[in-house]
Amino acid sequence: MVDFATFQAVVELNAAYAAALDAQQWDAWPEFFLDECVYRIQPRENFDMGLPLATLSFESKGMLRDRIYGIRDTLFHDPYYQRHVIGLPSIRAQDANTLHVEANYAVFRTKPDQLTDILSVGRYLDIVKRTDDGWKFASRQCIFDSEMIPNSLIYPI
């Protein structure tokens, strides 16, 4: 059983993560992660079968920063807003400085001239580590439920 302060810290980490992405504060996104980290967006079918193919896969904070550079300076796309809804986390395993956490998510997309649609629904599988700067993601796997995805994923999930 995890203590309330630790549980609350994970809830606040997810809330801050969602708020930064929803506000398009792209420079804040990599700061939720350790320097050596994993961020992966993967279909449920591949995850369940143990297949490594992922839609996006990054292996360091530097790669996350490179993605932000791409979002800002090289990718051309119709602008849209995201809104994250993250369920309460379930802490599956823990030791003094590491938590294994699962939480459901839904991400909605709104283009300025269209109705809101569902961009992605699934679950986060996280490894969260205690640091001097608070809890950070060592790994965040976004396992999306549908085999269908939009023709491009621009922003982080």
pLDDT score, position 100: 98
Q: Map tokens 């994250």 to a residue.
A: 84
For residue 113, being part of any structural domain is answered with yes
For residue 151, being part of any structural domain is answered with no
List the domain range (segments joined by +) for residue 27. 4-144
For residue 155, being part of any structural domain is answered with no
Number of domains in the chain: 1
- CATH (domain of 102): 3.10.450.50
For residue 121, being part of any structural domain is answered with yes
For residue 25, being part of any structural domain is answered with yes
pLDDT score, position 151: 66
| pLDDT tens by residue, 40-99 | 999 999 999 999 999 999 999 999 999 999 888 876 778 889 999 999 999 999 998 999
For residue 157, being part of any structural domain is answered with no
**Nearest-5° angle of CA 56, CA 97, CA 89?**
55
Q: Are 123 and 102 in contact (CB under 8 A)?
A: yes
Q: Are 152 and 125 in contact (CB under 8 A)?
A: no
pTM for this one?
Answer: 0.94
